[in-house]
């Protein structure tokens, strides 16, 4: 029996995220430390009586609809032909049905109208925001009773199997569980989470996003290749996941693996240590103490994991030269944004430095703005 929901309509929303540190460690069952940002995707949702789910959005004039009953057969085919933005919410509905085992014929249909101010393709996880807003709306309107972590898993299933992007679970957890002024420390093996106070405001710091404007997609290309290299590295080293390697294993990895695979492995192993060190530094000394870890993370992504771009390197170098406490690219890489931790009174100088450095190199002007660690997904009205 499906319990009766408290209401028939409402507004739900979920945020994008910035990752403070811990890049590409999630699908290696390691550690990450992302935080939800104030930019959100909203879903105005209402029940309908005909078993149809219909999605509309402010960024595409054409609505997309499907019978709930048809979702399994639709998403059985990788070439389902659903536009990518609509595959996120329809994929979440499909994944929710699969996860709960509820018969689609027992559920009412839904209208979902999306609007969003999360920058798309900037590495701030507009995808987790649309997934989180959808999952939260379905959880209430279908009275599913799922926990935020279970909703995060449904979001990841949608992204992996409906959209076809082989991502990990960091973004969905960050979007579901965010808290103001805090980051979510997530162990991607156990899925244990802990909220870590950031205290940027109290320390007189701001987190700047420098969006290079270079768009990326994780459904194609480099992201999947990196994931495959990591899986090869783990299999060659005889461990279930790279999470299981320590710094002491690196000499053996170097002897055993080809140079490229070894460097991919070294990034993951050292990045896991950097996440743990960042959590410790935040707890013991506060955010001024994490700058070197951010910088080391960027160097590792640039040199070992090779997912940075000249634009991202320029943003990081310019921010540091202008006095940022630390800076690194954030998200999956191959484009998107860098973050810089900057003292309040240097925000203007860092912005100017990055803007000039881009102009000197003939890059399109970056889009630079601050983000504030914010609350996670939920019902707004």
Binding site for ligand GLA (CB under 6 A): 19, 23-24, 26-27, 125, 167-168, 170-171, 218, 331-332
Contact in structure between 88 and 218 (CB atoms under 8 Å): no
Q: In sequence order, what are the residues at sequence separation of 6 or more whose Cβ sits closer than 8 angstroms to the Cβ of residue 258?
A: none
Closest CB to ligand GLA among 130 and 347?
Answer: 130
- Least distance (Å) from ligand GLA to the CB of residue 24? 5
- Least distance (Å) from ligand GLA to the CB of residue 103? 31
- Least distance (Å) from ligand GLA to the CB of residue 255? 28
Spatial separation of the C-alpha atoms in residues 174 and 169, rounded to whole Å: 9
Closest CB to ligand GLA among 140 and 171?
Answer: 171
- Least distance (Å) from ligand GLA to the CB of residue 276? 16
The token pair that represents 11 in the structure block: 């507004």
Q: Which burial class, exposed, middle or buried, applies to 121 when counting CB atoms under 10 A from its CB (0-12, 13-18, 19+)?
A: middle
Closest CB to ligand GLA among 19 and 157?
Answer: 19
- Least distance (Å) from ligand GLA to the CB of residue 271? 9
- Least distance (Å) from ligand GLA to the CB of residue 269? 15
Q: Is 171 considered catalytic here?
A: yes
The token pair that represents 309 in the structure block: 């771009």
Closest CB to ligand GLA among 57 and 330?
Answer: 330
Closest CB to ligand GLA among 139 and 167?
Answer: 167
The token pair that represents 185 in the structure block: 């420390």
Catalytic residue among 26, 111, 140, 171: 171
Instruction: Say if strands 109-116 and 52-57 run parallel, antiparallel, or are unpaired.
Output: parallel
Closest CB to ligand GLA among 71 and 301?
Answer: 301
Catalytic residues: 171
């Amino acid at each position: 029996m499906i319990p009766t929901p408290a209401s028939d309509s409402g507004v739900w929303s979920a945020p994008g995220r910035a990752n403070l540190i811990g890049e590409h460690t999630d699908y290696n069952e390691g550690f990450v430390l992302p935080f939800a940002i104030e930019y959100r995707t909203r879903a105005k949702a209402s029940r309908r009586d005909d078993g149809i789910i219909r999605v509309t959005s402010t960024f595409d004039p054409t609505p997309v609809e499907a019978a709930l009953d048809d979702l399994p057969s639709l998403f059985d085919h990788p070439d389902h032909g659903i536009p990518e933005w609509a595959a996120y919410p329809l994929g979440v509905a499909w994944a929710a049905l699969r996860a709960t085992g509820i018969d689609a014929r027992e559920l009412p249909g839904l209208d979902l109208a999306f609007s969003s101010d999360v920058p798309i393709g900037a590495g701030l996880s507009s995808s987790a925001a649309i997934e989180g807003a959808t999952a939260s709306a379905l959880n209430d309107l279908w009275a599913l009773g799922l926990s935020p972590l279970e909703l995060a898993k449904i979001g990841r299933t949608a992204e992996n199997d409906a959209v076809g992007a082989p991502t990990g679970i960091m973004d969905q957890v960050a979007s579901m569980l965010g808290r103001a002024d805090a980051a979510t420390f997530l162990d991607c093996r156990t899925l244990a989470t802990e909220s870590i106070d950031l205290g940027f405001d109290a320390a007189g710091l701001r987190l700047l996003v420098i969006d290079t404007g270079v768009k990326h997609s994780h459904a194609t290309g480099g992201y999947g290749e990196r994931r495959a290299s990591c899986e090869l590295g783990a299999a060659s080293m005889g461990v279930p996941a790279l999470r299981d390697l320590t710094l002491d294993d690196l000499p053996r990895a170097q002897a055993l693996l080809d140079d490229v695979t070894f460097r991919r492995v070294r990034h993951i192993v050292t990045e896991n240590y950097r996440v743990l060190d960042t959590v410790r530094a935040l707890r013991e000394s506060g955010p001024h103490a994490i700058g070197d870890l951010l910088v080391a993370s960027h160097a590792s992504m640039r040199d070992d994991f090779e997912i940075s771009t000249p634009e991202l390197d320029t943003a990081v170098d310019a921010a540091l030269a202008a006095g940022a406490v630390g800076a690194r690219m954030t998200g999956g890489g191959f484009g998107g944004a860098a973050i810089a931790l900057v003292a309040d009174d240097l925000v203007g100088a860092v912005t100017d430095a990055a803007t000039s450095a881009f102009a000197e190199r003939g890059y399109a002007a970056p889009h630079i703005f601050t983000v504030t660690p914010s609350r996670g997904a939920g019902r707004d009205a």
